[in-house]
Amino acid sequence: MAVRKQTAPTKAPSRTAPRRSVKAPPAPPGGRLIDRDESWLQFNSRVLEEADDASNPLLERVKFLAITASNLDEFVEIRVAGVLQRLEEGLNLPHHVDAGGLTQNERMQRVRDRLHQFNNDQASCWNDRLVPELKRAGISVLAWKQLRKPDREFVIKFFQEQVDPLLTPVTLDPSHPFPRVLNKALCLAVLLRHKRKLKSGTSPKILGVITIPRSLPSLIALPEHKGQRNFLLLEELIEAHIDTMFRGYSILNRTAFRVTRNSNLYMQEEEARSLLETVAEELHNRRKGDAVRMEIDAFASEEIAERLRINFELEPWQVFRTSAPINLSRLMSLYSAAKLPALKFTEFHGRRLHLDQSTKPPTNIFAALRNEDILLHHPFDSYSTVEDFIASAAADDNVISIKQTLYRTSADSTIFSALKAAAETKDVTVVVELMARFDEASNIRWARELEDAGVQVFHGIFGFKTHCKLALIVRRDSDGIVRSYAHLGTGNYNPVTSRFYTDISLLTARPELTDAVLRVFRYLTADWEAGPNAYRPLLVAPVTLHSDLLALIAREAEHALTGKPARIIAKMNGLLDVPTIDALYSASQAGVEIDLIVRGMCALRPGIPGLSDHIRVRSIIGRFLEHSRIFFFANGGPDDGGQSEMFCGSADWMTRNLYERCEVVFPMVDPALKRRLREEILDCYLRDNLKARLMTPDGSYERAPKSVPALSAQQYLMELSRSPEKRLTRDKTAVVESTPAEEAESVLSKEQSGL
């Protein structure tokens, strides 16, 4: 993939480079960086901790376990597959040392050991903790032999009517080769011997395979009995009828198994007929990529496991035996099917933006934006405001054009429908990212559907994912003036995920921002070479974002060296970019106080004497997925002073975001909105002592020390959205509850219990 060179940032007094350098200390034991894959595995372990956390509602714990399995699937089919492929093709020599100080072979050894341990930890969480607690709550996943007679009659009828017609049992012999097992498809393998004797006296053992239909529910809900909600795994039902599918054979052994394949997409620009056609073709190939992992029942015979392993050309370590149900991500359906709200988080709806309906005519969103910017913190502020912004534009006769980026959305989205409707009377341009991982197929459908509706659809710049979140509305207002209105965000235009992802939205009519957004769209649709300053005041990747970021960090270091206040607070999903980490190390050595709120991977080591003593890293895993990116720079003034700079955007501090994607980071200009981001949001996350984990210098994480009052940032922000008067107040450097501690703890306790 081509990487476009970043240009130097604009020379401006507010972003000067440091005049003095700080001598780098010797590298700490274990290297200056945490290995990327090790850091990701630490992250998934933190998610698993939520499944083990008894303070979470029981079905939410099941959901967290399912999320760890889904996360692990992606890690195996992308990251592990990538390392194995590089080793096989010799693209990275086994003795080559990466940024984390490991050779490829050493990395693979570490990863495989951790994967097996994590596989065991997942099974233990399910079998030893969740299953007994679910049973006490009246929920059980039963084995076939545990079914009551009425339940058996119910599922036998279900099998005959809905399951059996979909099954295609296959026996493997010279005329029936091994079927092409699709990526992550659950299957049953059966070791068979034909009952007909050959001249030699016995017939050879052969394998039979049945693919479990994906179109059927993986968990079959049994009729409720005495308040008990019981379920049967689909493979248990099929296995109970397996004799009927291999008549003439003796069943020697049977097991469920699942194969995960390499799911990386590979495309060559010069070979691509069109990006849409190429992605569609690669999606077909993905389903048949090389096997990377096989999950199999812990009690399967060694013979059947070995036959499968050899067929899929796997090393012994790539076989993962488990005593839990294979593919724990299926437990998400248990969360949905068990309709017990007392075992889930209480339903939450963010506060809606209410425009003034008393005026004549009522104030619309465009009139409101002409007076002030609007900042939304989702899901605590309802995403409906963003939907209304696009829907209002689509229905407004005064709107001339709509431009929009789409990375991930949903087919029933109000925004999606509004864009199609608007194309009948307006110029509508949409940049659809076809390479949004695992959403490629749905994005292809959306792109074609939008084109059929008359929308101009583009796919950004080849080689660079369009990851920025932008919408631009051009409207002729009642005074006859043509104005532009923009939405800039940190999250996708997806009303489903907006309910459980935390994100920032800025709605604005500021010409300096809307004009810059227009220029970004020209960059996306025409690869517009306008020079590095064209997109100011936006920070745009792959043009200037990285160099701007380094300059902002260096400026804080210079302030510290000259005795001025210096502070950085950065909230993001991941921190892996080595030059950025080195800049943070240098800033720490200069005396800059740095707080990093990093949900996922973080390669930086905090708290190393002489290297990162002034850096603290925390991760928050909770009810909502922390997805917002917020960046604060004190800029030589008081921590909450007016000269501080605040940015939000779509980009994490990772090489792929800074160089391989089209990203936009935007400044927060309005002082009141800056203050809200700093005091209501960032301070709250820095005070979290219930869900926060603090990173240690060796890359592991510890729970934040408990203190009074107990505070979960997400729970507090939920309460704040209901009762705005209950907000955190700042006392210089401390953050305290303005309500009595007893009341605050009561609120948090109720939220934790899910009542």
Q: Is 460 left (phi over 0), alpha (psi -120 to 50) or beta?
A: left
Is the CB of residue 477 less than 8 Å from the CB of residue 366? Answer: yes
CA–centroid distance for 291 within its chain: 24
Angle at 112 between CA 108 and CA 115, to 5 degrees: 140
Burial bucket for residue 128 (CB in 10 Å: 0-12, 13-18, 19+): exposed
How many whole angstroms separate alpha carbon 540 and alpha carbon 546?
A: 8
Q: CB–CB of 591/561 below 8 Å? A: yes
Q: Is 165 exposed, middle or buried (0-12, 13-18, 19+ CB in 10 A)?
A: exposed
Alpha helices in 648-726 (DSSP H): 655-659, 671-675, 683-687, 713-722
Q: Is 476 helix (H, G, I), strand (E, B) or coil?
A: strand
Q: Is 258 helix (H, G, I), strand (E, B) or coil?
A: strand
Tokens read off for 180 = 């092409």
Q: Is 446 in contact with 494 (CB distance < 8 Å)? A: no
Q: Distance (Å, rounded) from C-alpha 322 to C-alpha 307? A: 18
Q: Which ranges constitute the DSSP H helices of 53-195?
A: 58-74, 81-89, 104-124, 131-136, 149-158
Q: Are 506 and 512 in contact (CB under 8 A)?
A: no
Q: Which helix (H) or strand (E) holds 587?
A: helix 578-590
Return the bridge partners of 191, or none. Answer: 207, 253
Residue 577 CA to residue 658 CA, distance in Å, equals 8
Q: Any idea of the CA torsion for 744, 745, 749, 750, to the nearest 10 degrees?
A: -30
Residue 80 burial by Cβ neighbours in a 10 Å radius (0-12, 13-18, 19+): buried
Q: Is 467 among the residues known to form the active site? A: yes
Give the number of other Cβ atoms within 10 Å of residue 45's Cβ.
18
Residues 431 and 525 sit within 8 Å (Cβ to Cβ):
yes
Single-letter code of the amino acid located at 217: P
Number of residues written out for the chain: 755
Cβ density class 413-434: b for 16+ within 10 Å, e for less: bbbbbbbbebbeebebbbbbbb
Q: Which of 377, 378, 459, 467 is catalytic?
A: 467
The b-or-e profile of 712-746 (16+ CB within 10 A means b, else e) is bbbbbbbbbbeeeeebbeeeeeeeebebeeeebee
Active site residue ranges? 467
